[in-house]
Structure 1
Amino acid sequence: MDFTSIIIILFGSTFGLITRIFIQKHLKINIGFDIQNTSIVNFLSSFFLGILVAFNFVNNKILFLFYTGFLGCFSTFSSFIYQLFILLKKRKLFRLFFHYFEVIIVSFFCFYLGYYLVQIIT
């Protein structure tokens, strides 16, 4: 890996981190029940990943910028696991089960939606 690739990854990861923090601090969605901001970030990250996969980039600099840099810092897998742990610790097993499947199923749907939209457009 050359120095340019490292700078590209750092730029993408910085933008991904800033975007994640902004969403986690300022965005609140309630559709009959609260959706945790970490889940929103995971849904958006899955959607963007689907778009990225559908474009099938072969340029390593684009992959470093968006996939490794931006999405690597934007997605919040460790926060998702921590939330599951807190729910387990509080013995809220139904909420733990619901949150797990909510994130996994909806994230996969968002990934496929992003992929499918690009397939339709191109």
Structure 2
Amino acid sequence: MDFNSIAIIFIGSFLGLIFRIFIQNYLKINIGFDIQNTSIVNFIASFCLGILVALNFNNNDILLLFYTGFLGCFSTFSSFIFQLFVLLRKRKFIRLFFHYIEVIVFSFLFFYLGYFLIIFF
């Protein structure tokens, strides 16, 4: 990997990290039930990934910037796993199950939505 590729990944990672921290710390959404800000970040990342997959970029620099850099740092798989672990330690098995299903199903639906918004329009 050359220096240009590393720089592109770094820029995308930096931007993804800034947006994730902003959403996790400052965005408060109340839609009637409790959704963790980490889940919201994952939903947004899934939506963006669906859009990027539909656009089907062939440029390696764009792929490195957005897929590897931005979405790699923006999405929070490790935080999702940590949330599941905390629920497991607290022995909240039903909540653990529903949180897992919520994130997986909604992430897929947001990916699907982003993908088909580009494909059909």
TM-score after normalising by structure 1: 0.97
- Residue-by-residue CA offset, 1:29-71 (whole Å, 9 max, x unaligned): 1211111000000000000000000001110000000000000
* Corresponding position of 2:71: 71
Matches of 1:108 and 1:29, distance apart in 2: 20
* Deviant stretches of 4+, over 2 Å: none
SS across alignment from 2:42: helix
Do 1:45 and 1:75's aligned partners in 2 also have CA atoms closer than 8 Å? yes
SS across alignment from 1:35: coil
Percent identity over the alignment is 74
Gaps of 5+ in 2: none
SS across alignment from 2:91: coil
TM-score after normalising by structure 2: 0.98
- Residue-by-residue CA offset, 1:1-31 (whole Å, 9 max, x unaligned): 2111110000000000000000000111121
**Superposition RMSD in Å:** 0.6
* Corresponding position of 2:96: 96
* Corresponding position of 1:2: 2
Matches of 2:54 and 2:81, distance apart in 1: 28
Gaps of 5+ in 1: none
Do 1:28 and 1:35's aligned partners in 2 also have CA atoms closer than 8 Å? no
